[in-house]
Homo-oligomer: A and B are copies of this chain.
Amino acid sequence: MLILLKKDASRIEIENVKSHVLQLGFTPHEIPGVQRVAIGITGNKAKVSPDNFLSLSGVVDVVSVSKPFKLVSRDFKPDKTIVNVGGVEFGGEEIQIIAGPCSVESREQILEIAELVKESGAKLLRGGAFKPRSSPYAFQGLKLEGLEYLKEAAEKTGLKVVTEVKDTETLSAVAEYSDLLQIGARNMYNFSLLEKIGEMKKPVLLKRGFSSTIEELLMAAEYILARGNYNVILCERGIRTFETYTRNTLDLNAVPLIKKLSHLPIIVDPSHGTGAWDLVPPMAQAAVAAGADGLILEVHTHPEKAFSDGYQSLSPKTYLSMIEKIRKLELVLERTNEVLA
């Protein structure tokens, strides 16, 4: 349920509505908007009637929300959310680029790649330090050592750090070293981790599970918002289908659909979404044309020597030429905060 307040509702009126919600045993979520404040209500105790709120001072309307996701929905918050990652805005006019290697492999490697990322004009550096791998015998990342190198590379270049958080045990360490916490596809259903991150204020990049419906992705984001962290960026990274020529099927339908259903920014990962470096540039262009707020890309100065995902990593030359084309495309696209169509 969503309580809409008058455009000029006072702070006292707002707080009064919130305390009323609390008294009824629910949780109020204040949702700031360009035009007016709204207050979302969550909690699964009992049914609540609009009449409980319509008579309160400052309230203009009470809307019931039938979708299973509430706080993430456009019904709750019609204005698009802009997530600020250390000064870099996701969901605004600019298309943001996150680039870097699959894994931090050494100090030299990440420093070299960071320079390339900087040169391209991108503002965020990615690199895995704690890697969830299908095999217990595969390279699991440099862990804390990797985080140190990543941080150093970011500081030298002025880039922001994006890295994956693997579990609740290493969450605080990873949070300390990063500007944007990535939750990987395999952790999208890890509700205990989502809840812990919901209690932080740190921006989060939440990747769609490779067999998750869009509703499930939005519900996973809802877990984070419901605990008070509204800084969530969603990410489409390809889903599992019967097709075997590509590693995954990049579901770009998700981009306009999520923009219709939710106010949260949505970016795309064409590296995992295709699994082949030569499909990345056209699919990156496609993602941007579909309305994505950003891209996350695997790039490596020596793809043939990468510890993991080498085949889907862009070489410096392909990467730079691709970014140039993306920037040209950006100029003709009309990026707005409006729901599409």
Interface residues of A (CB under 8 A from B): 42-44, 68, 70, 132-139, 166-169, 186-187, 189-193, 195, 209-211, 213-216, 219, 222-223, 226, 239-246, 249-253, 255-257, 260, 273-274, 277-283, 285-291, 318, 325, 328-329, 331-334, 340-341
User: Is B244 touching A213 in the complex (CB atoms < 8 A)?
Assistant: yes
Chain B hits for A291, CB < 8 A: 282
Q: List 29 A-B contacts (CB under 8 A).
A: A42-B136, A68-B135, A133-B191, A135-B219, A135-B222, A167-B190, A167-B193, A187-B190, A210-B211, A213-B244, A240-B242, A241-B249, A243-B251, A243-B253, A245-B257, A252-B283, A252-B286, A253-B274, A253-B279, A255-B282, A256-B279, A260-B278, A260-B279, A278-B340, A282-B341, A286-B287, A286-B289, A289-B289, A289-B290
Q: Which residue of B lies closest to A243 (CB)?
A: B213
User: Is B329 touching A341 in the complex (CB atoms < 8 A)?
Assistant: no
Q: Which residue of B lies closest to A273 (CB)?
A: B253
User: Is B249 touching A257 in the complex (CB atoms < 8 A)?
Assistant: no
Which of these, B222, B242, B277, B287, contacts A136 with CB under 8 Å?
B222
Given contacts A253-B249, A332-B329, A332-B332, contact A166 B192 (CB under 8 A): yes
Task: Output the least CB separation between A4 and chain B (Å).
Answer: 21
Given contacts A189-B132, A332-B328, A332-B332, contact A249 B251 (CB under 8 A): yes
Q: Which residue of B lies closest to A314 (CB)?
A: B341
Chain B hits for A223, CB < 8 A: 136
Q: How far is the CA of A210 from the CA of B239 in the complex (A)?
A: 13
Chain B hits for A168, CB < 8 A: 167-169, 192
User: Is A169 touching B192 in the complex (CB atoms < 8 A)?
Assistant: yes
User: Is B245 touching A242 in the complex (CB atoms < 8 A)?
Assistant: no
Given contacts A249-B241, A257-B245, A341-B277, contact A139 B44 (CB under 8 A): yes
Q: Which residue of B lies closest to A185 (CB)?
A: B189
